[in-house]
Amino acid sequence: MARVGVIVFPGSNCDHDAYHALKHVMNAEVTFLWHKETDVSGLDMIIVPGGFSYGDYLRSGAIARFSPIMQELIRYAQKGGPVMGICNGFQILLEAGLIPGAMRHNEQLKFICKDVHIRVESTQSIYTSSLQKDQLLTIPVSHGEGNYYIDNDGLKELQDNDQVLFRYVNAQGETTPEANINGSIDHIAGITNKHKNVLGMMPHPERAMERLLGKEDGKHIFESILQALAIA
Amino acid sequence: MFKAKVNVTLRPSILDPKGKAAHHALQNLGLTNIEGVRIGKFIEIDVQASNEEEARGIVESACSKLLANEVMEDFEIQFES
């Protein structure tokens, strides 16, 4: 059974959602990792959850990036360990330099909390290997700073290396300007690092796990991960 | 002790939604001569160092490691004399 760690920073608020999603819906073994811990041994994957770590002071994720657990997480990721950053977790991974780019305030300055459509752009990662290219998923977002930025050279590298996993699209799966909810460059909703073991995504798959609660498209992503981990 | 004043600003090529919103509000106030607004951060830092050069090195390292995100921000350091 896959063993998954969920990091808890002061101000994390999606840690329990991630725990519930993996433990009770996906039947994985899950442990919380307090930000002061330094032992990540024996874990098959680490999730950096959403929330407002350290009150998002200075910039989202900027302070969390220096906590003790993050130094271990960076080593874990550099050795190829799977790391998934969701929302604030994505922001923290950007600040830590595990994924290229940065987050700006949403173009319209509004905090956006709603269901969005994202399109699977690449299946060349453990996060999407059991999904279909161009598959549409409906998953909620909840962020004020999700406006992804990277310079032109960096963007080209992401595209050439197939690192963009998810883009914001409309219900028909098209990248219309209105579908790009926060103004992200190239409609980017989720990307990996070069080695594709580290994923950052703004939408919250852990909040779309059970039909009873409205939607379950997020489950497909976790199914893909757990399948890939079981084979590996 | 040295007192550093640091300005952290978004790079000119980066869209500044806060500045844009403030600009829009200023225009609504009738201040139509204002042609642009960019919003950054101002940070004061007290540093213990034997000379200004050393203090500057410390503040520079603080800026590039934490206070500014150089993917999209620039910083400028001034010392109070």
* Per-residue pLDDT reduced to its tens digit, B19-53: 999 999 999 999 999 999 999 999 999 999 999 99
Cβ of B72 under 8 Å from any chain A Cβ?
Answer: yes
Contact B14 A149 (CB under 8 A): yes
Residue A195 pLDDT? 97
Question: How far is C-alpha B51 from the geometric centre of its chain's CA atoms?
Answer: 23
Token pair in block for residue A45: 């994957």
> Nearest CA of chain B to the CA of A62: how many Å?
7
Decide if A186 contacts A149 (C-beta within 8 A): no
- Assess whether pLDDT exceeds 90 at residue B15: no
Q: What is the CATH number of domain A3-231?
A: 3.40.50.880
Residue A231 pLDDT? 82
Show the CA angle centred on residue A136, arms to residues A133 and A138, nearest 5°: 145
Residue A4 pLDDT? 97
Contact A150 B67 (CB under 8 A): no
pLDDT tens digits along A153-179: 999 999 999 999 999 999 999 999 999
Mutate to test the interface with B, among A54, A56, A58 (most CBs of B within 10 A): A58
Contact B66 A58 (CB under 8 A): yes
Residue A76 pLDDT? 98
pLDDT tens digits along A182-202: 999 999 999 999 999 999 999
Classified as helix, coil or strand, B58 is helix
Mean pLDDT across chain A: 96
Predicted structure pTM score: 0.93
Mean pLDDT calculated for residue range A95-124? 96
- Assess whether pLDDT exceeds 90 at residue B81: no
Token pair in block for residue A8: 């808890």
Helices (H), B1-81: 17-28, 52-62
Complex-level ipTM beyond the 0.85 threshold: no
Percent residues over pLDDT 70 in chain A? 100
Contact A104 B15 (CB under 8 A): yes
Number of Cβ pairs < 8 A linking chain A and chain B = 35
Q: Which residues contact A108 (CB under 8 A, 6 or more apart)?
A: A182, A183, B17
Question: How far is C-alpha A117 from the geometric centre of its chain's CA atoms?
Answer: 15
Instruction: Provide the pLDDT confidence category of residue B80 given band limits of 50, 70 and 90.
Output: confident
Decide if B41 contacts B66 (C-beta within 8 A): no
Of all residues in chain A, the one with the smallest CA distance to B70 is A102
Residue A1 pLDDT? 83
Contact A104 B18 (CB under 8 A): no
> Nearest CA of chain B to the CA of A72: how many Å?
18
Q: Cα-Cα-Cα-Cα dihedral of B16, A59, A95, A190, to 10°?
A: -60
Contact A104 B14 (CB under 8 A): yes
Percent residues over pLDDT 90 in chain B? 91
- Assess whether pLDDT exceeds 80 at residue A232: no
Chain B residues with CB-CB distance to A63 below 8 A: 66
Mean pLDDT calculated for residue range A138-155? 97
Residue A198 burial (CB < 10 Å; 0-12/13-18/19+)?
A: buried
First-to-last C-alpha distance (Å) of chain A = 12
- A→B contacts (Cβ < 8 Å), by residue, are 58-59, 62-63, 66, 94-95, 100-102, 104-109, 147, 149-150, 183
Chain B residues with CB-CB distance to A109 below 8 A: 17-18, 21
Residue A196 pLDDT? 98
Q: What is the CATH number of domain B2-79?
A: 3.30.1280.10
Cβ of B14 under 8 Å from any chain A Cβ?
Answer: yes
* Domain assignments of chain A as residue spans, ordered by start: 3-231
Contact A58 B72 (CB under 8 A): no
